[in-house]
């Protein structure tokens, strides 16, 4: 497949690009700073310049023969309210280019952990991060309204860090993926003090692995999924300090 990754020099975008290349796919990367490709695991990739805020510039950069477009951009931390327009531009570009499949990398912080309580409303995130990544709520509404494209939103677990690759994972549909049945049942005990990072964790490598599995053998359409390891993962060992 020919895969175009918008935001492909970023944290998760670059990991997805590497996984796609290892599986033999043709990958094109688009970002505001295309020279950043040299700092990734795939410095040889074609890296094009375009800003998702500029609709015409973005459309010109996306190859016409793209099979799947991946939206791996993240909100601007200082003006997160602009994020939904960037995502809308990507949706519109896919339609103009007749690219039917769109995979959007979203964030798990907008999933509920109790009825009416989302992860970004707990102390798991600082106020700055709650607003920053909470911008994915507005983009999620855009996708829910989209009936033309074959889209999917894919979120990593509550905590996603560079780690080992197990090539094993589990999927939750439209909810936070966790090893705790109470979290999965939206009955999280004391959300402000619950160790979400221990029961909902995925390495960046395995997240990318799961994304490519879904792109190659799609099981979910016009919905959002969350990816996590099958086992608990202690972020801080006994005696460690933050």
Q: Whole-angstrom Cα distance, residue 172 to residue 176?
A: 7
Q: What is the pLDDT of residue 127?
A: 94
**Does the pLDDT at position 172 exceed 60?**
yes
Residue 242 in domain = no
Give per-residue pLDDT as tens, 196-205.
999 999 999 9
**Does the pLDDT at position 154 exceed 90?**
yes
Give per-residue pLDDT as tens, 70-86.
999 999 999 999 999 99
Residue 127 in domain = yes
Q: What is the CATH number of the domain that holds 91?
A: 3.40.50.720
Share of the chain above pLDDT 70, in %: 96
Split at pLDDT 50, 70, 90, the class of 232 is confident
Share of the chain above pLDDT 90, in %: 95
For the residues 145-154, what does the mean pLDDT come to?
98
- Quote the pTM value: 0.94
For the residues 210-234, what does the mean pLDDT come to?
95
**Does the pLDDT at position 33 exceed 50?**
yes
Q: What is the pLDDT of residue 235?
A: 61
Q: What is the pLDDT of residue 220?
A: 98
Residue with the two structure tokens 């589990």: 170
Residue 233 in domain = no
The residues pairing with 201 across neighbouring beta strands, listed in sequence order, are 159
Residue with the two structure tokens 């590497």: 18
Helix (H, G, I), strand (E, B) or coil at 171: strand
Q: What is the pLDDT of residue 135?
A: 97
Residue 235 in domain = no
Residue 156 in domain = yes
Q: Whole-angstrom Cα distance, residue 88 to residue 192?
A: 33
For the residues 101-125, what does the mean pLDDT come to?
97
Q: Whole-angstrom Cα distance, residue 169 to residue 206?
A: 7
Residue 72 in domain = yes
**Number of folded domains that form the chain:** 1
């Amino acid at each position: 497949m020919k895969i175009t990754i918008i935001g492909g020099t970023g944290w998760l975008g670059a990991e997805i690009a590497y996984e796609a290349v290892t599986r033999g796919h043709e990958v094109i990367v688009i970002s505001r700073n295309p020279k950043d490709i040299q700092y990734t695991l795939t410095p040889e990739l074609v890296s094009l310049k375009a800003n998702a805020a500029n609709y015409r510039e973005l459309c010109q950069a996306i190859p016409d023969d793209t099979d799947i477009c991946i939206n791996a951009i993240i909100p601007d931390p200082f003006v997160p309210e602009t994020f939904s327009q960037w995502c809308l531009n990507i949706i519109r570009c896919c339609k103009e280019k007749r690219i039917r499949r769109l995979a959007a990398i979203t964030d798990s912080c907008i999933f509920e952990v109790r009825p009416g309580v989302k992860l970004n409303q707990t102390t798991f995130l600082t106020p700055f991060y709650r607003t920053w990544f909470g911008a994915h709520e507005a983009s999620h509404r855009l996708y829910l309204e989209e009936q033309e494209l074959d889209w999917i939103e894919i979120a990593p677990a509550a905590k996603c860090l560079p780690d080992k690759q197990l090539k094993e994972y589990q999927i939750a549909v439209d909810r936070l993926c966790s090893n705790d049945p109470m979290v999965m049942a939206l009955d999280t005990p004391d959300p402000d003090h619950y160790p979400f990072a221990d029961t909902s964790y995925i390495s960046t490598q395995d997240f990318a692995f799961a994304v490519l599995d879904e792109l190659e053998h799609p099981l979910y359409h016009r919905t959002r999924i969350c990816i996590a390891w099958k086992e608990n993962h202690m972020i801080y060992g006994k005696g460690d300090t933050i």
